[in-house]
Copies of this chain bind each other. A is one copy, B any other.
């Protein structure tokens, strides 16, 4: 998917929302317990109910992996369903992979060839040759961890690596030699919204994937205020606060209502910022 196509979706839907499919088997509504393909069934109903308010969808691979073969099957069913039914949805594998070149190539095969995701999140610690194999796929994206939403982000990402430069800034700057705004995005946690000013100075044109809205407490208005660019440039994720908002048979309808609320907030913020269709 091109950067223009993503921006176009944002304009049409007046939304930057990404639905995070952190589909924890233990948190499924009780009426789905023990049912065949219940994770896929949950995801399908969530997508059917929320797709019109969202421009992206992000299964977190850990929640599928932990169930072994069965979890992997649920992920395959989910991805295939979204690809077939909602081709406009930007589909992100939240996998945070990264290894030596010949191994990262295999991870790229996993998420791009085998599954058909549009993008995969990757960890920068191992440097250029751990990321470049993902960038060699035309039309596909790497979303590189820069400044994450968790408390541990402070352990290393905020270390000084130069005069008034922190590790996450060095990560962003160096990675600009590996890709460009058409195949490389960055993860910046909503809990670090004030840092977006500095980040936008380095990468005015790149898209950012923003987790941390909702359960993690990040502020949507701040993110938009400091992060918006001419393509919107923001994909803002919410997982638990939407998909697990209700655990009755009405879970999908409640998820839709929550997604709609976020989308309306986004539409208002986009409009206020002068971002028009």
The contact size tier of chain A is 35 or more
Closest residue on chain B to residue A154 by CB atoms: B127
Q: What mask results when residues 143 to 169 of chain A are scored 1 for a CB within 8 Å of chain B, else 0?
A: 001001111111111011110000100
Instruction: Give 6 nearest A-B pairs by CB, closest first.
Output: A127-B152, A127-B155, A62-B106, A129-B152, A66-B109, A66-B110
Q: Does A198 reach chain B (CB closer than 8 Å)?
A: no
- Are B153 and A99 interface neighbours, CB within 8 A? no
Contact of A125 among B24, B113, B145, B162 (CB under 8 A): B145
Nearest CB in chain B: distance from A29 CB, A? 19
Q: List the number of copies, as a whole number.
A: 2
Closest residue on chain B to residue A60 by CB atoms: B103
Residue numbers in B under 8 Å from A113 (CB-CB): 66
Report which residue of A24, A123, A145 has the largest number of chain B beta carbons within 10 angstroms of its beta carbon.
A123
Nearest CB in chain B: distance from A124 CB, A? 6
Chain A residues in the interface with B (C-beta under 8 A) = 22, 24, 60, 62-63, 65-69, 72-73, 76, 94, 96-104, 106-107, 109-110, 113-115, 123-131, 145, 148-157, 159-162, 167, 170-171, 174, 216
- Are A167 and B174 interface neighbours, CB within 8 A? no
- Are B167 and A151 interface neighbours, CB within 8 A? no
